A and B are shown apart, each in its own frame.
Chain A
């Protein structure tokens, strides 16, 4: 086991939550989502995002519309659905609990 693998798995585990978080702030097309994930150092490789987007769309947590682009291929703008917003709110609650739990378990009590 190496630290990079564990770091990668940790990021992957919360990628779904982060994507929903990005789209909870407004619609975006995949390249914008990738850019935001990359800026936050949350992106492992781009390919992991596409199956997730389709899966979230199939679960009706996301919806999309096509828009023509003057500078390249048509863009698929994703937005969060009301069901997705509720799902994101539930995950946010869990995330807060996890943060607290991990902080409690990993803090250095000798300090």
Chain B
């Protein structure tokens, strides 16, 4: 028997197998870290989350649980976080002497026990705040 997690991505509800959820959570967290110096980071992450929603809706119907294999296919299609880093490195080569901005501490993703979101687990409440 597998544990499931209910989450919202960009306002769309999904039920994930716990392992699938962990993989996606780590993927988005890694992307957030890699893009931390990118202007428009939040917008890029939003675009990627919308693409994830689109791909999930192509793969499953509303009643189905998202499986690990489906998340692995999606992350493979999008590319590893290192790919985003390569992209960033092209830009940072051009601007490396232009910015002295300190690196912001990266956001982490925790279970939110204080603000559970209606119909979602506390993990998903954390995802909202992330």
Contacts and interface: CB of A to CB of B under 8 A. Distances in A.
Interface of A: 12, 30-31, 44-48, 50-55, 57-58, 71-74, 76
Sort chain B's interface into a size bin.
20 to 34
Contacts of B87: 12, 47-48, 51-52
A47 B48 contact: yes
A45 B78 contact: yes
Nearest to A16: B90
Q: Chain B contact residues: over half helix, strand or loop, or mixed?
A: helix
Q: Chain A contact residues: over half helix, strand or loop, or mixed?
A: helix
A46 B44 contact: no
B105 interface: no
Interface in B4-40: 10-12, 35, 38-40
A72 B57 CA distance: 7
Q: Which of B39, B47, B53 has the most CB of A within 10 A?
A: B47
Contact of A45 (B11, B12, B79): B79
Q: Which 3 residue pairs are nearest across A and B when measured between Cβ atoms?
A: A45-B79, A47-B79, A54-B40
